Amino acid sequence: MKIWGAGMAGLLAGCIFQNARIYERGLEGSTQHRALLRFRTPRVGEATGIEFKRVRVHKDLFADGNFVLPSIRLANLYSQKVVGRLCDRSIWQLEPVDRYIAPDDFLDQLAARCAGRIEWGHRISRDDIIENDAPVISTLPMAAMLDFTKEFSRLEPEWKAKWEAMQTGERLFQHERIAVRRWRIPKSDVYQTIYFPSPDTNLYRASITGDLLIAEYMHVADEYDFFEAFGIGRTGLVELERVHQGFGKIAPIDDAWRKEFIFELTSRYKIYSLGRFGTWRNLLLDDVLTDIGVLKKMIGASAYDRSIVAAR
């Protein structure tokens, strides 16, 4: 078996499918995730043998210089900021929640568990797909998979017409680049998140995870002074880094078409889509682990059984 992509979803699949070989276009150490990473359950840690810390997270919403309650106006401002359209986002839920925190070197530990099975610097091409004759788990963005396979597609005419009417994959698969800044806060041990819906700043979320402060911005980082919202100043903070992530936020697409395309990849090419970008939907790594369980049932099953599992 092959796995395409050595991001979080691909490496997690590699930990579960321990005989799979993983192919990653980036170089070793280039797939680091720097945005906020919390888990709703300890299942990912248990599945990988990596210890997670259970914490209580407090959340708030900051707008117009004050802490405020969620409203339709603020929810719409926030969704337009992060995905460029109106849709429900997480700022409606501000009650304290229990979460599980992975260690800072989580991705390094996942990669270490797949050591010797990762081929770095391998760019997947159309030939890899068309000539493939073995099961593959793909975490590649759906836009790339469409570009690789659209001329060979067996989708029904109405699906093809709908897709072509939307012109390009770039326009259809709307996604936004994010920037992340990180600081160390000496002697800190709290778990907090504040959302920033205002269009006056690119900042949309800032979080303290233990002694790590993470600020996430749409497109590029600006110098908005969010520190006052936490009741802290910059003095004594140690800035660690500024990085960019190309697929920071994704906007939903037509769900029926999405499922149809995923099913065609499986039935025609033995390609099983996995992860946020592979299945083009917003989900957590807890959900990815559940999806891996579904894929284990599908791989090796008959075409009839695969169709039943996929329909669930």
| CATH number of 278's domain | 3.50.50.60
SS3 at position 272: strand
pTM of the predicted structure, to 2 decimals: 0.85
Residue 182 shares a structural domain with residue 218: yes
Residue 48 lies in a domain: no
Residue 134 shares a structural domain with residue 161: yes
Domain of residue 157: give its range.
1-33+104-173+253-312
**Which residue among 234, 250, 266 closes a domain?**
250
299 Cβ contact partners less than 8 Å away, ≥ 6 residues apart: 1, 135, 272
Residue 43 lies in a domain: no
Residue 22 shares a structural domain with residue 111: yes
Residue 246 shares a structural domain with residue 262: no
Residue 266 lies in a domain: yes
Residue 41 lies in a domain: no
Are 5 and 13 in contact by the 8 Å Cβ rule? The answer is no
**Residue 68 is encoded by which pair of tokens?**
């405020």
- Among candidates 294, 306, 268, 310, which has minimal Cα distance to 132? 268
282 Cβ contact partners less than 8 Å away, ≥ 6 residues apart: 250, 252, 276
Residue 306 shares a structural domain with residue 259: yes
Residue 268 shares a structural domain with residue 133: yes
Residue 169 shares a structural domain with residue 179: no
Distances (CA, A) of 272 to 119, 156, 197, 264: 19, 20, 36, 10
Residue 143 lies in a domain: yes
Residue 45 lies in a domain: no
Residue 266 shares a structural domain with residue 161: yes
List per-residue pLDDT tens for the chain, 312 residues long.
Answer: 999 999 999 999 999 999 999 999 988 876 666 667 889 999 999 999 999 999 999 999 999 899 999 999 999 999 899 888 888 888 999 999 999 999 888 999 999 999 999 999 999 988 888 777 889 999 999 888 888 887 666 655 665 666 665 545 445 677 778 999 999 999 999 999 999 999 999 999 999 999 999 999 999 999 999 999 999 998 889 999 888 887 777 878 888 888 988 998 898 889 999 999 999 998 888 999 999 999 999 987 655 455 544 444
- Among candidates 164, 135, 130, which has minimal Cα distance to 257? 164
The single residue listed with the structure tokens 């990653």 is 24
**Which residue among 198, 227, 250 closes a domain?**
250
Are 15 and 47 in contact by the 8 Å Cβ rule? The answer is yes
* Number of domains making up the chain: 2
Residue 86 shares a structural domain with residue 213: yes
Residue 59 lies in a domain: yes
**Residue 96 is encoded by which pair of tokens?**
């304290």
Task: Give the sign of the dihedral formed by CA 190, CA 195, CA 198, CA 200.
Answer: positive
Task: Give the sign of the dihedral formed by CA 215, CA 174, CA 72, CA 59.
Answer: negative
Residue 179 shares a structural domain with residue 88: yes
**Which residue among 235, 250, 265 closes a domain?**
250
Residue 187 shares a structural domain with residue 163: no
Question: Is beta strand 66-67 parallel, antiparallel or unpaired with respect to 38-39?
Answer: unpaired
Residue 207 shares a structural domain with residue 169: no
Residue 47 lies in a domain: no
Our CA dihedral for 141, 144, 150, 152, rounded to 10 degrees, sits at -100
Distances (CA, A) of 27 to 63, 202, 251, 284: 40, 30, 28, 25
